Amino acid sequence: MPLVHISMRAGKPEAYRQAIFDGVYRAMHETFNVPEDDQFMTITEHEAANFRYSPTYLGVARSADVVYIQITANNTRTAEQKKALYRRLVELLGDRPGIRPEDVFVSLVEVAKENWSLGNGVAQYA
């Protein structure tokens, strides 16, 4: 049950943002075995003055279209699954909505299963 927070510069159309949601979910479904309809995601848009990135850190040529994708998930995936997720995200977001691979920035935050309550005050995974 990943929880996804996506941050990006303001100004892209709704179809662009929906394509990001679709691509992120599909990549997680395919590589992290996320179940059907397990979609808990937000996009936060920022004006240029409130969004900072390095255009060259670690030799990656980022543009103002960089998208930060933070995924909080159970700490149950292997290193290979994580690598597959990153590759698939770049492929899918490159196809639609057309984000350059250099502009897909992913942060995976892993938590223990008992750190979730999905409603009703119950720790469903504990």
Which H, E and C letters describe the chain, residue by residue?
Answer: CCEEEEEEECCCCHHHHHHHHHHHHHHHHHHCCCCCCCCCEEEEEECHHHCCCCCCHHHCCCCCCCEEEEEEEECCCCHHHHHHHHHHHHHHHHHCCCCCHHHEEEEEEEECHHHCCCCCCCCCCC
Reduced to 3 states, what is the DSSP secondary structure of residue 104?
A: strand
Catalytic residue among 2, 35, 55, 101: 2
97 is catalytic: no
Catalytic residues: 2
